[in-house]
Amino acid sequence: MAESASRSTNFIRKIIDQDLASGKHTMVHTRFPPEPNGYLHIGHAKSIVLNFGIAGDYQGTCNLRFDDTNPLKESMEYVSAIKADVRWLGYEWEGKERYSSDYFDALHGFAVELIEKGLAYVDFSPQEVIRELRGTLKEPGKNSPYRDTSVAENLAEFAKMTAGEYPEGHCSLRAKIDMASPFMCMRDPIIYRIRHVHHHQTADKWCVYPMYDFTHCISDALEGITHSLCTLEFQDNRRLYDWVLDNISIPCHPQQIEFSRLNLEYTVMSKRKLNLLVTDNYVSGWDDPRMPTIAGLRRRGYTPGSIREFAHRIGVTKMDNMVEMGILESCIRDDLNENAPRSLAVLDPVKVVIENFAEGSTETLQSPNHPNNDAMGTRDVPFTRELYIEREDFREEANKKFKRLVLGKEVRLRNAYVIKAERVEKDANGEITTIFCSYDPETLGVDPADGRKVKGVIHWVSAEHGVPAEIRLYDRLFSIPNPGAAETLDEALNPDSLIVMNGFVEPSLAKAEPEQGFQFERMGYFCLDSKDSSAEKLVFNRTVDLRDSWAKIAD
Ligand code: ATP
Ligand code: MG
């Protein structure tokens, strides 16, 4: 699949074009700033493709910066996973990865500068009082009794906070801005708080940690970011972003630009909820193939190109909306339709015995790997007296619409011969155990010579050479379009999001590489599971159906 080569422009690219044309900037420098408190999801992919994509297209650079000001919820496991995911998506950041915590010394210095300028104060009011005095959207806030403490006293108190002389929650450092501002974030926001916790980067050096709004703008400026792209919920906070940079001695002032976050139907994107799915064992982990995480999509069989293509197709705007799951699915379907080798796998097998085929002999047939691309070559597929076909592909009786195998009638086996069902054998429960057939040896790759028409084609696997495989049929994790709005995750879950089949795959699939995608002819697109598959037990994951089966349901 050719990734959208001529990328449609967007309002952010227009701003950048203007900034370059006016000489405001000579180069573009963006950043992707994840908090290492969970795995990256498809929403982050939108931001990654935007930030790294812009840097790439404008010959600029993009930093990877871990926004690690909240050590309690963060971990190195997430740091490593995020780095791996960004690289897998096809991007490389400028230099070493950075951490907001790299700047804790500088940030502390800027906090002291604000105190010295009379623009920050240590507030000993309890949390509830601070909240109370902040006011509401309709009513202005009220000044804290600590607002007019002298600079000298604030410096001394902040030093004590930093030295660990106070317990958590005893006091905090607040910016002195405007308690009557229509923007709540400007009503003397807390910029430093006490946390007696170990940090994954700075260990036990600090017991005061800067707040996100204070940290983010300064980190951007220290790194020389030109355009700081973030999601719309930070629109109001832009006032604070600019206020901080306007009031400290820092030469650089990045421009914050907001865009709408990705919301995707049939899934949740909040890290808190994703975390809950993992910790409450609704899924097998962050990389469960049903998760909207990059790791989950990857394990499911999505390719990096298909995710980048998705980000291009949905575009970047300021409008909040809900993207249809079908758009994501069509991106991987288009990719695999073009690039995935075809192969044969029977998910729900029933035995076929071809009575006029010599016992114990194997005929090696050549099958094209792709119907429209000869360059993908051919593979050997063994044909034997005993085969498996899909149980649902046989009926003892059926009308003309059923173009598969029917008792007394003929069907073509994919890339092989025409066979005719002669009789069946059943077990005590009436379940068919074997379908006895005959084959027409003159029909390999050609229609029957006498002109009789054989309509249907079904897939098959040699019973002797086929390899047993567990085949996991994944579907959407949630059965309603907006599970985020449901009272509980339970009531929104799709009970059939995973169905496990024990089938047989053609022998060439035993050499499949983890995550490599295949079309199992007539059954969908599948990949070898990267975690649970082994030489002893092959495991394949369904990536996506051949067609959008949910669209049919919606109709
Ligand atoms: P959550 O609120 O669930 O914890 P977050 O937005 O805080 O998610 P971060 O790790 O801080 O997650 O996000 C890193 C970057 O990715 C931010 O710039 C953020 O705006 C962006 N991002 C996060 N979620 C989405 C989304 N759904 N669509 C687009 N961008 C997103
Ligand atoms: Mg965040």
CATH architecture of the domain covering 271-341+469-554: Beta Barrel (2.40)
Ligand 2 centroid to Cα of residue 33, in Å, is 8
Q: Is 282 exposed, middle or buried (0-12, 13-18, 19+ CB in 10 A)?
A: middle
Centre of ligand 1 from the C-alpha of residue 34, in Å: 7
Sheet-wide strand order for 349-354: 457-458, 410-413, 418-426, 432-440, 349-354, 386-390, 460-462
Contacts of 336 (CB under 8 A, 6+ apart): 301, 303, 517, 519, 525, 543, 544
Region 11-259: CATH code:
3.40.50.620
Which atom of ligand 1 approaches the CA of 263 most closely? Answer: 27
Q: Is 261 in the pocket of ligand 1 (CB under 6 A)?
A: yes
Whether the CB of 269 sits within 6 Å of ligand 1? yes
pTM score of the predicted model: 0.95
Task: Please name the residue that has the structure tokens 């059965």.
Answer: 479
Place of tokens 């074009």: 17
323 lines ligand 1 (CB under 6 A): no
Using the mean position of ligand 1's atoms as its centre, give its distance from the Cα of residue 46 in Å: 9
Closest CA to 312 of 544, 44, 12, 10: 10
Q: Is residue 190 a contact partner of residue 244, using CB atoms and an 8 Å limit? A: no
Nearest ligand (C-alpha, residue 37): 1
Contact 215, 67 (CB under 8 A): yes
Three-state secondary structure call for residue 291: coil
pLDDT on residue 549: 74
d(CA 20, CA 10): 16
Tokens 């007019």 map to which residue?
A: 148
Cα(389)–Cα(248) distance, rounded to whole angstroms?
73
Residue 45's SS3 state is helix
Q: Name the closest-CA residue to atom 4, ligand 1.
A: 271
Q: Do domains 271-341+469-554 and 348-459 have the same CATH topology?
A: yes
pLDDT along the chain (555 residues), means of 10: 61 97 98 97 98 97 96 93 98 98 98 98 97 96 98 98 98 98 98 96 97 98 98 97 98 97 96 95 97 98 98 95 95 98 98 97 97 97 98 96 96 98 98 98 95 95 98 96 92 96 98 97 98 96 90 60
Residue 543, helix vs strand vs coil: strand
Catalytic annotation, residues: 35, 261, 271
Which CATH code of 2.40.240.10, 3.30.70.270, 3.20.20.70, 1.20.120.1200 fits the domain covering 348-459? 2.40.240.10
Q: Where are the domains of the chain?
A: 11-259, 271-341+469-554, 348-459
Residue in 68, 70, 211, 231 to alter for ligand 1 test, most ligand atoms within 8 A of Cβ: 231
* Four-residue CA torsion sign, 500, 506, 507, 511: negative
Q: Residues, the chain, total?
A: 555
